[in-house]
């Protein structure tokens, strides 16, 4: 009789652990996202002084990791953008939330005084 209860308890525990594992794998299964920002800066000094530090802080607080930021660009085909920023996020939803946050939208008003932006996100491919 005790063996029967022990077997039922073991099966229930296994089902519970299996359910948690599936849920964990599903959460980990969302693809990472990359955000590409093309920037046409009209006033470099003001842009770097008034906008960049606070924008960087806000985006990092919202999960961004900078992969490239204003470095040298080279055209492979077509015209190269003047300035590019590449960020990574845990998911495309987190990227959208960061750029739609109240703090970022308020700070963006400052950035728009000195530059034009083109911002888009793409999901990473699964390895």
The pLDDT value given to residue 23: 53
User: 65 and 83, same structural domain?
Assistant: yes
pLDDT of residue 29: 79
> Counting Cβ atoms within 10 Å, is residue 56 exposed (0-12), middle (13-18) or buried (19+)?
middle
User: 18 and 38 in one domain?
Assistant: no
Domain ranges, residue 108 = 33-123
Domains in the chain, number: 2
Query: Long-range CB contacts (< 8 A, 24+ apart) of 96-105?
Result: 96/121, 97/62, 98/58, 98/59, 98/62, 98/63, 98/64, 99/35, 99/59, 101/58, 101/62, 103/58, 103/61, 104/55, 104/58, 104/59, 104/62
pLDDT score at 13: 61
Same domain, 63 and 10: no
Do 42 and 16 lie in one domain? The reply is: no
pTM, two decimal places? 0.74
Give per-residue pLDDT as tens, 24-73. Answer: 444 567 899 999 999 999 999 999 999 999 999 999 999 999 999 988 99
Is 38 found in the same domain as 24?
no
């Amino acid at each position: 009789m005790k063996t029967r209860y022990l077997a039922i308890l073991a099966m229930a525990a296994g089902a519970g652990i299996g359910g948690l594992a599936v849920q964990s794998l599903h959460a980990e299964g969302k693809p990472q996202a990359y955000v590409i920002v093309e920037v046409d800066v009209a006033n470099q000094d003001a842009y770097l002084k008034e906008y960049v530090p606070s924008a960087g802080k806000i985006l990092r607080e919202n999960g961004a990791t900078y992969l490239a930021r204003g470095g040298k660009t080279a055209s492979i085909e077509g015209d190269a953008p003047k300035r590019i920023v590449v960020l990574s996020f845990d998911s495309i939803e987190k990227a959208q939330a960061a750029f739609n946050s109240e703090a970022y939208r308020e700070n963006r008003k400052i950035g728009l005084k000195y530059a034009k932006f083109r911002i888009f996100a793409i999901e990473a491919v699964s390895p």
